[in-house]
Structure 1
Amino acid sequence: MTSATVLVVDADGSGIGLAVAAELAAAHGGTITADSIPGRGTAFTTRLRALNR
């Protein structure tokens, strides 16, 4: 099963949340990538391994 959630946010900040999210993803065998288009924004993709149940 595949699931995706898209969240669009226009916010300012220090950026520490992305560093924390990247550490959490890495700790669980995942990754976070960024695709940026100048003047249009940045899309972040988080990938985590699926559970085998």
Structure 2
Amino acid sequence: EPDIRPGSLVFLSMKNLNMPKDRARKLCPKFIGLYKIIESNLEMSNYKLDLPQALVN
């Protein structure tokens, strides 16, 4: 099991992110980052990341 805790840097999967209509998904990177983990809930494998404003809805 990886050692993932607040302060660690991780990549973010692009799988569930909305893409612009004019971009082909297969030509986009599969992962982006590195982003810092702000909070973690190890029991549920949930993590809160410090994302740039462009990725926040």
TM above 0.5: no
Structure 1 length normalisation: TM-score? 0.30
Whose strand fraction is larger, Structure 1's or Structure 2's?
2
Structure 2 length normalisation: TM-score? 0.28
Whose helix fraction is larger, Structure 1's or Structure 2's?
1
